[in-house]
Amino acid sequence: MTAFLNSSNFSTGSSDEQQSLAQALSDILKNEYHGSFFVLLAEYQRILADNHQRQRWPEVHKKLDTLFKCGSAEVISGPMIGIPVSIRDSDYFKEAAQLLGKERSMMATIEWMATAWNATYADTGLWMGKTFEPVSRETVAAKTHNDAKTMSGYDPATVRIGRNFFREPPDPTALQAIGLPALTQLWKLKDRPMRPDARGFDCQLLTENLAKEKAIPYSKTGGYFLCNMGTSVVPEMQGKKVYQLNYRWPDLGPVYPMTRLIDEIVRIDDGIYLGQLVFATQHYSLGALVLPNGHVVSIGDNYPYCSMIDNIKRIFPMGWMDEKDPYGYQNNGFFLMVDPAYAKAFYADDAFPQLRPRPGEIGFNELGYAQTASTACVSEGEKAAAAGVQHCPEITDWVDDWKQNEALKHKFTTFILEESPKGAEDGDVTQLLREGESILQMLQRVSAEISAQSNPQDNLKHFEKLNRLFRRGVAPTVENGLFQGHGARGFNIRIDSDETADWYGETTRTVGFDYYHGATLNLHCGFTETFCPDLNAKPDDEYLFPGRLASDLALGHSTPNVLNLIWHSIGKYIFPWAGKSYEKISGRKLSMLLDESSDLAERYPERVHALKTHLASAPHYTLVEKNKAHYWDAEGVYAQHLKSGAWDRGMSGEDKAFWENEAAAHWVDGYNIQDKRVIAADPLMRIVDMNYRIPDAALQAASAAGPSPFARQGYIFLGVDDRESILPMNNGDGKKKKVFQFHYRFPMIGGPVPIGFCLDEIVEIADGLYLGQLIYSTALDRPFHSSVDPAEYHYQLFGYFLLLDDAWQYHRLAIGLDTLS
């Protein structure tokens, strides 16, 4: 039983009231408390966060009120994990209601703030707690304009300056997605400090406190307050001792509603603190306006408010003239704070699991969730895949130590090759590898040579070493719906997720997940070859689209390689592309994404609506309209197996069998993956990319255990094996290069411009290392249809990229190939 809860901590007006409070506390502890306040308060929070249980809210609020009154006032130091337990409306008609014998007015019982909060942010973890740091007397004096009452109570042992923690909600809705970005701008939030010497904080950032913060998954911080021991400002609390947090001082930079806010906190158990939100209902500021002349004008009354009585009291300091509660303070809800030492119990399944650190967040690895998730969610295939890398403890320097491990030495220096369609013309590419270097180090060297040659003069001839290597690589395959390479295992990881999702009426889950890290080698302006096929000729306007624009840009062979220059100098620091992932695709989903029927809107109304309402997917939606208008004379490649209808709208059993077999034999569901830098742009990405999503926890857990975790998936594609290359440069006389293709162009795939013009190809050149060609259509005025000869789209090479398994990625990071460092 807790030693911090006692009815004697609250002074009542009579012995009967004292006995009633003691009985209320006893009832809670005997009937509802079963050894854990985490479990008890989690139950209260779930009731108060459920708009369907609003009839129980008054009862639960009374219990929280009892716990608060009986709690012990105590100085708080360092970081605390937090969660809002309830939000309450201010009652502006409270006195009138009490005259009628009611605790709250009818207006206040609507509880619109609680209702709105519960419908949006209640369980998202948007607010994740606070920290309490030492603060100097000089800083307190500056923030309070040397307020006499505040300064007389200054004691470095009890006074703190604090700030709040904020976190990106998981898989946010459109409204939730704007929450943290909006707060960041309005409340001027700062990035999470990682070092004691971080600037911009009006306190001493203690190393031990930053270490404790590692149990709290937050990214932004702000909302400053000064705190000290004090007495409650809420009249009903009758002068109860509390630890009091004041946000209202103008020089703390409060933004409404912080201009009204006082927090009060008591301790109720070891490491557990209950707080009440207190808002002023009068004499507060709505904010400040900065005039053109630089003057700042407050809208409303700045804190502290100076009334006429205050002015008189300065001259006649007589107690009978004391003004009773000039601010009209009221309880506006409760919140819970917990010492990070109790983090695992706080995040437990029977407490507040919704706040548990997610893969990629600080706290996930530190609290051991990565290991737990890996054990619980990751398949045996993934464990086997990881063995090649993570069971090499002798490797501390991935630049050179791999040479001492025979398995890795073989992996890093052995090519996977086949004969080129151009035969002996491509020669022996193994001679590109020098003594003592890995294939990746070779590619790094070749890439640097290409940049040096092509940056001043962009010409595809400078890419010839990569062209030759690509033509000698071997295309990966699909086996039983799984992406399969030709190395020792043929995959990086293999995961089946237990999480389910809805795919337009079908419950799905991720099966056979595999992913590879991405790196860019060199880029090239592929329009050049379309505009000027003859190296010695001037671009002909009849090949240009739009002709004048291309002419004005002088896209000839003598121009600098602007794309390559921009990528290596700026682009890689901005764009958070981290690689690609593959998973099994169902016949149902494949048949939808490859469908080019004339009645797509009737077959897939929700999907077509999504295409139409995501303006960035306009090129794909245009294809829907053109199919409807029978723009093409010929049928699509797969039309024969779609004539009987869509999967859910009349498709024959025979056609369903075709699609199931096609999916298992040749196709994978593909996503581009992005690192955590994309999180800041989540609201924009959800608008731009209709397929943008937060990966399942199992997938993120697996990536968090590897060298480079990813945070988001998007820009979907269909991966298909056993295809002939669409680039003439890859093919020889009478022989086509077999490749693995990434299709982005079919209408129902969707995705933002310019991804709808893309059709990439990859081959494997070493165990777990894939060389990819970035290919775009340069016939921008020709809408895509699978019946059209690919030559009509003037596909051209726009550059080379790599896909790497975990072992190669460790090596890549160490040698600095296309990395941020």
202 CB neighbour count, 10 Å cutoff: 17
Neighbours of 688 (CB within 10 A): 18
| Mean pLDDT to the nearest integer, 22-49 | 94
**pLDDT, tens only, 278-306:** 999 999 998 877 777 777 778 889 999 87
pLDDT confidence band for 681 (50 / 70 / 90):
confident
- DSSP H or E run through 227: strand 220-231
CA atoms within 13 A on the CB side of 255: 11
| Average pLDDT of the residues of the chain | 88
210, pLDDT greater than 90 = yes
Phi, psi of 152 (to 5 degrees): -70, -25
Confidence class for position 387, pLDDT limits 50, 70, 90: very low
Q: What is the mean pLDDT of residues 156-164?
A: 96
Q: How far apart are CA 79 and CA 133, in angstroms?
A: 8
Instruction: Identify the pLDDT of residue 538.
Output: 45
Region of residue 621 (left: phi > 0; alpha: psi -120 to 50; beta: else): alpha
Distance CA 231, CA 146 (A): 20
Indicate if the pLDDT at residue 383 is higher than 60.
Answer: no
pLDDT confidence of residue 575: 87
Averaged pLDDT for residues 582-605:
96
Average pLDDT of the residues in 568-579? 86
Is the pLDDT assigned to residue 320 strictly greater than 80?
A: no
Q: Give residue 682's pLDDT.
A: 85
In three-state form (DSSP H/G/I as H, E/B as E, the rest C), the secondary structure along 418-470 is CCCCCHHHHCCHHHHCCCCCCHHHHHHHHHHHHHHHHCCCCCHHHHHHHHHHH
CA atoms of 327 and 234, how far apart (whole Å):
10
Q: Which residues pair with 285 in a beta bridge?
A: 300
* pLDDT-wise least confident of 126-135, 386-395, 524-533, 663-672: 386-395
Return the closest-CA partner of residue 582 out of 456, 693, 484: 484
Report the run of H or E that residue 656 belongs to, with start and end.
helix 653-666
Residue with token string 């999702």: 501
Q: Which of 82-91, 131-140, 475-484, 675-684 has the lowest mean pLDDT?
A: 675-684
Alpha-carbon distance of 108 to 114, in angstroms, equals 11
Q: Which residues pair with 226 in a beta bridge?
A: 161, 246
pTM of the model: 0.57
**pLDDT greater at residue 290 or residue 593:** 593
Question: How confident is the model over 546-562, as a mean pLDDT?
Answer: 51
303/291 Cα distance (integer angstroms): 20
Mean pLDDT score, 566-578: 86
pLDDT of 585 reads 96
Write the pLDDT tens digit of every residue in 437-468. Answer: 999 999 999 999 999 998 888 888 899 999 99
Give me the mean pLDDT over the 611-620 stretch. Answer: 92
Q: Is the pLDDT of residue 811 over 90?
A: yes
Kindly tell me if the per-residue pLDDT of 548 is higher than 50: no
Amino acid at 355: L
Per-residue pLDDT band for 393 (boundaries 50, 70, 90) equals low
Please name the residue that has the structure tokens 């001493």: 204
pLDDT tens digit sequence for 464-486: 999 999 999 999 999 999 999 99
Q: Residue 791: is its pLDDT beyond 90?
A: yes
CA dihedral 313, 318, 319, 323 (to 10 degrees): -30
